[in-house]
Amino acid sequence: MPPSPLPSAGAARRRRGTSQDVVTAVHALGGTCGWSELRRAVPWRHIGPAVAAGLIARSSNRVYSLPATDEARVIAARMTGVVSHRSAALHWGWKVKQTPDLPDVTVPRGRKVRSSVTGLSTTHQRDLAARDITDGWVTSRERTVVDCCLDLPFDEALAVFDSALRGGMRHGSLVAAAGSLGPRHRAKVLAVARVASGRADNPFESVLRAIALAVPDTTWEPQHRIRDNDFFAKVDLACEELQIVLEADSFEFHGRRAALDRDCERYDELVCRNWLVLRFSWEQVMFRPEWVGGVITRAVQLRRSAARGGAAAPGQMTHLPPATGVA
């Protein structure tokens, strides 16, 4: 008897599960990513079926994104508005902390949104100049960054600003775009601009840096290089003064033994050189920021206590205030 052309229920469930892994990976990679990034996160054989099923979209230059980035333009047209904020960032190929559940659309201030389109978008009201709109339907690159700094939480704005710099935008042009704003709004943009860096690899690292920057009197350098005789390491974040390293452990669905061996050797060498290494997962950074911030705060306190001569004797525990937000 020839095999049935229809897959079994179990096979269908497995196919949906693997395709959903691809969707989850694109979300975690900032809502848009290249082939090499996605390939490191999921097996290549799962990517094609996810595209064929319409779960993710692929452009001509092999950039993968979520279908919602295309739907934003349709909804903006229905609202006689423009695609903006995170949706515009995704259009420009930039990564975001979280892909919005609803597209971001900006309409003129004071306009009443029709009931037929209510609930289809996250609606922002702002009067935009002609130079702020590209091709009649999406905010310009500069305006997109400015709007994200004005209206999104600091960590989300930093993720977009970092990605824009990584994508080739000039820091000076983005700062200049805030020049026409009032003092309060300009200060919000500059607060993000002061710490933005194109060296951050992805939103995961940007959000971790935003959490770390909340610890008073600390400076964190992204993609910091550590050299010591025959040893070299590039770490995600480092506070040189306190010799603390923060690592955003890569989002992957599969790992290799060789990679684990390299990581172990690297971290052991850093510890032997008196670096305190803290490793955080994507889920911890994105969903438990209070706990992550508490751990970093305690590590900073520990280093500063040691610098003042208050280090614990061998075999003794140093008691510091507990972190908050521990699940």
Q: Where are the domains of the chain?
A: 16-65, 68-193, 203-307
pLDDT tens readout for residues 275-324? 999 999 999 999 999 999 999 999 999 999 998 886 543 334 444 444 44
* CB 136, CB 126: distance < 8 Å: no
Task: Sort strands 231-239 and 244-248 into parallel, antiparallel or unpaired.
Answer: antiparallel
Cβ–Cβ under 8 Å, residues 42 and 22: yes
Main-chain dihedrals φ then ψ at residue 227, nearest 5 degrees: -125, 140
Mean pLDDT of the chain: 87
Q: Let me know if domain 203-307 sits in CATH 3.40.50.970.
A: no
Q: Supply φ then ψ for residue 83, to 5 degrees.
A: -70, 135
Is the pTM here over 0.85, yes or no? Answer: no
pLDDT band at 16 (very low <50, low <70, confident <90, very high): very low
Q: Regarding beta strands 57-58 and 63-65, do their DSSP bridges make them parallel or antiparallel, or are they unpaired?
A: antiparallel
Q: Between residues 186 and 117, which one has the greater pLDDT?
A: 186
Q: How far apart are CA 318 and CA 300, in angstroms?
A: 13
**Using CA atoms, how far apart are residues 22 and 316, in angstroms rounded to an integer?**
47
Pairing of the two strands 122-125 and 104-107: parallel
Helix (H) or strand (E) holding 102, with range, is none
| pLDDT per position as a tens digit, 51-94 | 888 888 887 678 888 876 678 989 999 999 999 999 999 999 99
| Cβ 241 vs Cβ 299: under 8 Å | no
> Is the CB of residue 238 less than 8 Å from the CB of residue 245?
yes
Two structure tokens written together for 198: 């194109």
- DSSP-assigned letter for residue 321: P
Sorted by sequence, the CB contacts under 8 Å of residue 182 that are 6+ apart come out as: none
